[in-house]
């Protein structure tokens, strides 16, 4: 049997009768359930609370950012960390600064 004979044989067969299934669209297709309504209401309530929370947080943000006020409001440990220079480890100091007996 050649390829053309096989194709002709397959195409010449009568189709198998299809059951009257409209592709998963039964009588309940397109209808929503009460669970969907409850879920939609819960999402709407969550959005309302998120908007209220965001509004409260945005009211705390200043209109103009002043660097002097920000520096005054910074915690003391941050100010101390910025004021004190970071100490170098002992190994880096010995390599960076030659001793009396070493040439530069």
Per-residue pLDDT of the chain (104 residues; tens, 9 = 90+): 788 888 888 887 777 776 666 666 777 777 788 899 999 999 999 999 999 999 999 998 877 777 777 777 766 656 566 666 655 555 555 555 555 555 54
Q: Where are the alpha helices (DSSP H) in 61-103?
A: 67-73, 76-83, 90-96
Do residues 96 and 88 lie in contact, with contact meaning Cβ atoms separated by under 8 Å?
yes
């Amino acid at each position: 049997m050649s390829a053309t004979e096989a194709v002709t044989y397959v195409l010449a067969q009568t189709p198998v009768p299809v059951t009257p299934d409209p592709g998963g669209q039964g009588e309940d297709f397109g209808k929503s359930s009460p669970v969907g309504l409850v879920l939609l209401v819960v999402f709407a309530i969550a959005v309302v609370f998120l908007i209220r929370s965001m509004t409260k947080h945005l009211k705390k943000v200043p209109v103009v950012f002043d660097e002097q006020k920000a520096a005054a409001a910074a915690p003391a440990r941050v100010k101390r960390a910025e004021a004190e220079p970071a100490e170098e480890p002992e190994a880096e100091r010995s390599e960076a600064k030659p001793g009396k007996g070493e040439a530069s």
